[in-house]
Amino acid sequence: MKKIEAIIKPFKLDDVKQALSDIGLQGMTITEVKGYGRQKGHTEIYRGAEYLVDFIPKIKIEIVVPDERMAQVIETIKKSAYTGKIGDGKIFVMSLEQVIRVRTGESGDAAI
């Protein structure tokens, strides 16, 4: 099993969610996060004063999938989150040792 974490631009969430739903993905966890990468924030002007926005709002999507679905899910996220501009995001993939569904006690792929 793999855990896929994707950091994307907030306005792309609906596109990514719909694309993952279209390929039959059943569940995901979404978190509003802030951070920066190469763009290192930006400056804005508010009431005549310029200030630095260090951390840019992003969305983190967490998905757990069987190994055989990993490539399809990654490709779907890449295509649906793409804008071609800096800050499109990152995708991280981690191996999971065990997944357990609390309500039923199922484990492994059955718990996903």
User: In the predicted model, what is the mean pLDDT of the chain?
Assistant: 91
Q: Are 88 and 37 in contact (CB under 8 A)?
A: no
User: CA–CA distance from 90 to each of 12, 23, 37, 87 (Å)?
Assistant: 13, 20, 10, 9
Instruction: Check residue 35 and give its pLDDT.
Output: 85
Band (44; pLDDT cuts 50, 70, 90):
low
SS (H, E, C) 7-45: EECHHHHHHHHHHHHHCCCCCCEEEEEEECCCCCCEEEE
Band (31; pLDDT cuts 50, 70, 90):
very high
- Can you give the residue ranges of every domain in the chain? 2-111
3-state secondary structure of 96: coil
Q: What is the pTM of this model?
A: 0.85
Instruction: Check residue 42 and give its pLDDT.
Output: 64
Topology (CATH level 3) of domain 2-111: Alpha-Beta Plaits (3.30.70)
The mean per-residue pLDDT over the stretch 11-15 comes to 97
Instruction: Check residue 91 and give its pLDDT.
Output: 98
Between 41 and 60, the more confident residue is: 60
